[in-house]
Structure 1
Amino acid sequence: MTPSTGSGQTPSGPDWVVELAWTGHRCIAYVEPGRRTRLLSSRDVSMTAAYPELAPELEKRSPPRGMILDGTIVARGEEHAPRATLLKKRSARSHPSQDQILATPVDFQVADLLWLDGHLTVDLPYRDRRTLLDGLGFDAAPVWTTSPLPVSELESMLRIADVKGVDALHARHLGSRYRPGGRSPLWVKVPVPRTRQVVVGGWTPTDPDHPDLIASLLLGVPVSGGQLRYVGRVGVSGEERGQVAALRKLRRDGSPFLAGMPADIARPAIWVAPRLVGLVEFTGIATDGRLRLPHWRGPVAPSDVDDTRWAVPVGPPPSRVLPEPPVEPEPVPPAPAAAVETRRLEQHFVYNALNTIAALIRTDPGRARELLFGFADLSRAADQAGNASTTLGHELDAVRGYLQLEQARFGPRLRVEMEVDAGLRGATVRPLQVLVAVRDAVQRDIEPRPQGGVLTISAAPGGHAVTVTGGVGEPVVIELRSGTATPE
């Protein structure tokens, strides 16, 4: 069964739920304990040999007479990526070695249940299928059930999807049947609109004989060396042409784009110096790196340009696209390996977090909404892991979001004491440095103990370090640097 694209209206009402649309290989799993487990793609191509690690985990939870599951295979750590490059490494190998399995782990995100223990379930309403599916207990890698939330939380889910780079949500009606091979207006794919900055590097004219009449703008994002990476073009007309009239004074002979622009677009192009920054709304990024369905939303004043809001983050922008750059902070060493590992483990945390929030929706919707916002802020911080530095204040905001979610899971077992002088919020640290230390302390010192413990984060006024301890292992001391990496 595949979702419909809808009529442009987002579903609403108490009988609708929404969840993130995973990027990966759609898969139907036929599980027969003691006999065999088959994984078939949406086109009935066998994927069983490519992902041998999934069968044992599926069979562990299967009833005696088997089950049929519908879900998506995703590469761990790249579950929301517009281009699932890691998954391609695995899908290209029909019989991967153990080293290859460990190097590129995958997960199966289960969204629906079609058969259970000798009984066909496709005619049951979705709410009943989900109840049966949740009862199977798939809540750990490499097999998870998805985490739908009420459609009343759509705005929060869109915010999370925007931060995570998810192109769409799935909205499902709780009373809907499963239609094998068909579509239904009761399962709708909801695009995630996002508005980001781009730089105009040229235009294509409406007519070669009238090159000054702009038909579409050629868009890019800044990369090192003062050039642009091409991300597509967007049409303009009427009043919008007036918004970009200043481009005619910026004409130049050579292209500001890196090599690789399509020849049929470059041939008639009029090039300009890359100084005009604008906003475009789009629904995602295609596999070739271009924006999907872009719409021009107007220019950005130089004082409002934000180097964290480029359509496709590809590195620091050149100074001529931006207003005067801030003073560079003192350099810091590369991020530790633990920060990279946080990104790889993020998918597990995503599922634990969303399952916790989904449970709270029914009992404490206010707290659930607060946790959703904290989760979005935490995701945004994690996506800055490649930056050279951040402020302690921003890092502590991410830590608070993480601890709120963990306290919702652990309850009174996790107690937090944070004593950090407000005057240190502008000090510089590596992105995720404090968060990794906090996460490690929770997992090492608090989670394994039935009685839990107290996590302490402290930094004295005028001090030069932050100390993190869970009360059992050695305290972690994180050096602070002077400077203002990001204005608070």
Structure 2
Amino acid sequence: MGGGAATGEQGPTLPDLVPPMLPAAGELSDATDPGRWAVEFGWEGHRCVAYVRPGRVRLLSSTARSVTRSFPELAVLGEQSPPGGMVLDGTVVALDEAGRPSRGPLLRRTATVAPDDGLRAEVPVGYVVTDLLWRDGRRVLELPYRRRRAELEALGLAGPTILVPPSFGLDEADLVVRTAEQYGLDGLHLKRLDVPYQPGRRTRNWLRVPLRRRRQVQVAGWVPAGSTAGRERIAAVLLALPGADGPVYIGRVGIGAADGDARTVLGARPGRPPADVPEGIAADARWLAPGLVAAVEHRGRTAAGRLALPSWRGLVPPDAQDDDLRDPAPARREPPGGGGATVPVRTAAAPPPAATPAPATTPATEETVRIRVREAVPPEAPAPEGPWHGPLSRRLEQHFVYNTLNTIASLVRTDPPRARELLLGFADLSRAADRAEEPAIRLDEELAAVRAYLQIERTRFGARLESDVDDPRTSGVDPAAAVPPLAVLAAVRRGVQEEIEPATAGGTVHVRLVTGTCRVEVRTADRPGVPGGAARAPLVLLSLPLDAPAE
């Protein structure tokens, strides 16, 4: 480690360079003593050490290359520095269109030395702080991780672009795994609580545990690798999943020494290629008719939609195949009545030309837009912009994710049961966001996501936010009624952000289930610019007809 910087005009003394400690590969089973290990989320991104003085930040990559100008939004760290400065270990992350940390968007930021405002707005980044090495003129890297972690949390670092994620005990590993899988994180970290930071060393005191997902896929074809004794050999099996217009190519996988599976693949009936096959593969491929289904493990999806690092786990017998894989082009579920349901929603701007008059049962202030249940977008008008709107942008907003995890992190030490409760709710919310492309979901599943969201927001608003979500079982409504994914959730969130947050005294969100309708109502006591009497009347943000159960 290099010497310290000068004091005076240069600010407090900090080391010139602390080579980052490196994790070794491991498994959860490698940690056997609950009292000696912490479990944390793994974040895919750009590893950086931050050297921070009041008003000044220097970012160095894991190879000691300066990336300070690449991430100017992280200069806010200088506003939270103690007088004697600090050195932080962490990861710069960016989210993909599904709201998952991904290297794909981040590569656009690291490809330029000084991003312009347009690129910064298009690919926002955040800094996930995972360790503290230097604090207020003191070296803390010699302290055991348990004490370093306590000092890191005591700094209270937080903000739209800064996150100190929670740390859990080994007995919470199953919960952390489930949450990481739901949110699409690619791994976990196991850290020994009783050892110091070891600069530049790869050590088994810090283990990275990859998360592998298992799923069934269609065997769409194979690529030959020559022949042996007159029999063709398989270089790779080509995989697909059902799409709206037929199978879609999702990658290739080696079949290894699975001779029985190889014989079955070689003997399958020829067929047509799926969609989206790269030219280099299409030229040599042998395509198969639908029918064969395989199990694979993988590390998620790449930016191009391919399976990341897939591994073959064998063919699946017909009676064990997933329903949507038995039919190569399953019919899309239609709502009752065929074409689509009309969902009245309140919009912030004037209604588009396709708007229809509000039903007589809704207030005159309510505006309506037709939304097809099967498409979740207006048929004649573009989908509204913003989080949880439209087929590609329906995701958890980045700042909401950071704020939520910061809240959970702050509660881990002070109120562990509450932190666990919020983390489970966050997992439910992430699961709901992942289902935005489905044509319809059950009402009770949608309301579970709404309750999870309101639970999280109440930690931020406190007494300013009250809520009441009716229970279908006690309201005479079928819990399995079909609703568009995120329709109720988006209306509730809009009410919290646009109506309750600006109101000094806050307000109440009520999700009512009455006479075959799901209504989202908001009451505030002091909406700016609205007379008191009108402000106290409920504002209806959604009136959603409830018909037949979801399939």
Band the TM-score falls in, shorter-chain normalisation: 0.7 to 0.9
Q: Does the Cα contact within 8 Å between 2:93 and 2:101 map onto a contact in 1?
A: no
Deviation at 1:23, TM superposition (A): 1.8
Question: Which residue type is aligned with residue 439 of structure 1?
Answer: R
**Residue of structure 2 aligned with 1:165, choices 173, 184, 188:** 184
Opposite residue 297 of structure 2, the aligned amino acid is E
Structure 1 match to 2:316: 299
Would you say the 8 A contact 1:281–1:295 is kept in 2? yes
Of the three residues 500, 504, 511, the one matched with 1:457 is 511
Which one is further off, 101-110 or 324-333?
A: 324-333
1:433 aligns with 2:482: no
Relative to total residues, which structure has the larger strand share, 1 or 2?
Answer: 1
The residue matched to 2:237 in structure 1 has which SS?
strand
Distance 1:485 1:89, change over 3 A: farther
Query: C-alpha deviations, 1:6-45, integer Å up to 9, x for none?
Result: 26734241232222211221111112335x4211111122
Report the equivalent of 2:175. Answer: 156
Offset of residue 200 of structure 1? 0.4
**SS of residue matched to 1:122:** coil
Question: CA shift at 1:199, angstroms?
Answer: 0.9
1:422 offset after TM fit, Å? 4.7
3-state DSSP of counterpart to 1:154? helix
Unmatched 5+ residue regions in structure 2? 1-20, 341-371, 378-382, 528-537
Partner of 1:442: 496
| Residue in structure 2 matching 1:131, options 144, 150, 155 | 150
**1:310 match:** none
SS in 1 for 2:68: coil
CA distance in structure 2 between the aligned counterparts of 1:148 and 1:130, rounded to whole angstroms: 9
Corresponding residue for residue 396 of structure 1: 447
Deviation at 1:430, TM superposition (A): 3.3
Aligned to 1:250, what secondary structure does the other structure show? Answer: coil
Aligned residues: 470
Contact 1:77 1:346 survives alignment (8 Å): no
CA distance in 1, matches of 2:24, 2:485: 40
Residues 424, 461 of structure 1: 8 Å contact kept: no
Q: Helix, strand or coil: the match of 1:139? A: coil
> Secondary structure, in 3 states, of the residue corresponding to 1:69?
strand
1:131, distance to aligned residue in structure 2 (A): 1.7
How far off is 1:106 after superposition?
1.6
Change beyond 3 A, Cα 1:8–1:395? closer
* Fraction of identical pairs, as percent: 39
More moved, 224-233 vs 121-130: 224-233
Change in CA separation of 1:166 and 1:121 when aligned onto 2, cut-off 3 Å: same
Q: In structure 1, give the amino acid aligned to 2:273.
A: S
Instruction: Quote the Cα distance in structure 1 between the aligned partners of 2:123 and 2:462.
Output: 34
> Counterpart of 1:147 in 2: which secondary structure?
coil
User: Is contact 1:429–1:479 with CA below 8 Å preserved after alignment?
Assistant: no
1:218 counterpart = 2:238: yes
Q: CA deviation at 1:379?
A: 0.3
Counterpart residue number, 2:161: 142
Distance change in 2, residues 1:116/1:40 (3 Å)? same
Per the TM alignment, residue 255 of structure 1 is displaced from its structure 2 partner at its CA by 3.5
**Matched residue, 1:26:** 47
Residues 192, 293 of structure 1: alpha-carbon distance in 2 compared, 3 angstrom cutoff: same
Distance in 1 of aligned mates of 2:162 and 2:147: 20
C-alpha offsets along residues 228-282 of structure 1, whole Å, 9 cap, x if unaligned? 313121415458629x837724223x5345331644x963x43211332332222
> C-alpha separation between the residues in 2 aligned to 1:425 and 1:275?
35
Partner of 1:280 in structure 2? 296
- How far apart are residue 211 of structure 1 and its match? 4.4
Q: 1:78–1:60: structure 2 CA closer, same or farther, 3 Å change rule?
A: farther
Work out whether residues 3 and 188 of structure 1, in 8 Å CA contact, stay in contact via their aligned partners in 2. Answer: yes
- Alpha-carbon offset, residue 357 of structure 1: 4.1
